[in-house]
Structure 1
Amino acid sequence: MLVRAGAVVFIIGALGTLATVAPLLLGSDPLPTAAYLVSMLMGVGFALALGGLLRTALAQRPRAGQAASER
């Protein structure tokens, strides 16, 4: 669940990053500060997904040890 939420937040941040870079490449006026804050969600989403992966891996570790000892 945490990995999915992190992926969604990452995608929102990636879209925000594309939206903030596009005016700079096209030569138009830069977007307001709020758009740059949305682009920071990319890192937050990555951290959430990584935390979810670590949490899942640590939760499965004792089960793997029990399965190996039962053989």
Structure 2
Amino acid sequence: MTRQSRDAGETLVRVGGVVFVLGTLATIATMVPLFLDLPRLPSIAWGLSMLMPLGLLVALTGLFTTARAESRRRRAAREAAANA
């Protein structure tokens, strides 16, 4: 179970990183027209910019999941060593 939790956490970190990068690209794409005096992009592009904080949240959730799984693993190893 511990290994599965760690794998789930690592997967969340990777997925969060990808979502964060997509949100960053969307943010750059929506900001460039403002600086270059080009026509503004539609509202959906601004909505895609919200992927950036969502990706950060997913990645942080993965980090906390991995940390908790590692903590449980260490505690179980300590208890097993104490009982042996």
| Coarse TM-score class (shorter-chain normalised) | over 0.9
Q: Which 4+ runs in 1 deviate beyond 4 A? A: none
The answer to whether 1:5 aligns with 2:34 is no
Residue 34 of structure 2 aligns with which residue? 24
Which amino acid in 1 is paired with 2:25? L
| Residue aligned with 1:10, SS | helix
Q: Where does the alignment leave 5 or more consecutive residues of structure 2 unmatched? A: 1-10
CA–CA separation in structure 1 for the residues paired with 2:13 and 2:73: 20
Scaled by the length of structure 2, what TM-score is found? 0.79
How many residues get paired? 71
Query: Which one has the largest radius of gyration?
Result: 2
Question: What's the offset of the Cα at 1:66?
Answer: 3.0
Superposed CA RMSD = 1.2
Question: How far apart are residue 16 of structure 1 and its match?
Answer: 0.2
